[in-house]
Amino acid sequence: MVSRVQQALCDAIHHNRLVEYLADRCDLNEDVLCYKVCWTSIAQARKQATFTQRKFITKWISGDTPSGVEMHCRQQRDCPNCPIYMTEDESLVHILTCSDSRSVDLRATLLLELHEWLIAELTCPWIREFLFYGLQSWFDDPEGHEPGLNWHETFAPSVQAQLSLGW
């Protein structure tokens, strides 16, 4: 008989460390992360990602993505500036919000692809709108104010329904 006790114990330890790390890094309550986040949905989404995507996500979250700032710290670039504008440090936020027309066009295309994917996954329209306009607002003004939220009366039940589907 084969036992998965050792693997289950290892998974639990890693999960607990992740929760502690996220709580500390994002200044969140650990209980919220333990009981309100649908970890099975996150695990399912991660399993659907390619190895390259998972590696990129891990580097992005850990702050190890080769931005200008990171490459300058590694002494692999002469300066940390954006290679397009040369005036602003190329941080992770700058990479996502660079105002160069090529970056703006790429973000617009990716947002539309996300929107189409959310439709294909039968995501509630209110959730799609929240994600789409929230991301668009942040891309347009990462240091500014987020738009006011006008919750539709079906938003909370829709979110609960999405969670029960494992989304």
pLDDT digits (tens, 9 = 90+) for 68-106: 888 888 888 888 888 887 778 888 888 888 888 888 898
What residues does 81 pair with on adjacent strands? 89
The pLDDT assigned to 112 comes to 92
* SS3 state at 153: coil
Q: Nearest-CA neighbor of 144 among 93, 90, 88?
A: 93
Instruction: Give yes or no for residue 1 having a pLDDT over 70.
Output: no
What residues does 89 pair with on adjacent strands? 81
Mean pLDDT score across all residues of the chain? 78
- What global pTM score does this model have? 0.57
Q: Nearest-CA neighbor of 19 among 39, 4, 2, 3?
A: 39
d(CA 56, CA 115): 21
Would you state the structure tokens that stand for residue 96, as one six-digit string? 């996502």
Q: State the virtual CA torsion across 57, 62, 68, 74 in degrees, nearest 10.
A: -130
Q: Nearest-CA neighbor of 91 among 82, 79, 99?
A: 82
Query: How many residues does the structure list for the chain?
Result: 167
Q: Nearest-CA neighbor of 88 among 80, 96, 100?
A: 80
What residues does 83 pair with on adjacent strands? none
The pLDDT assigned to 16 comes to 78
d(CA 160, CA 157): 5
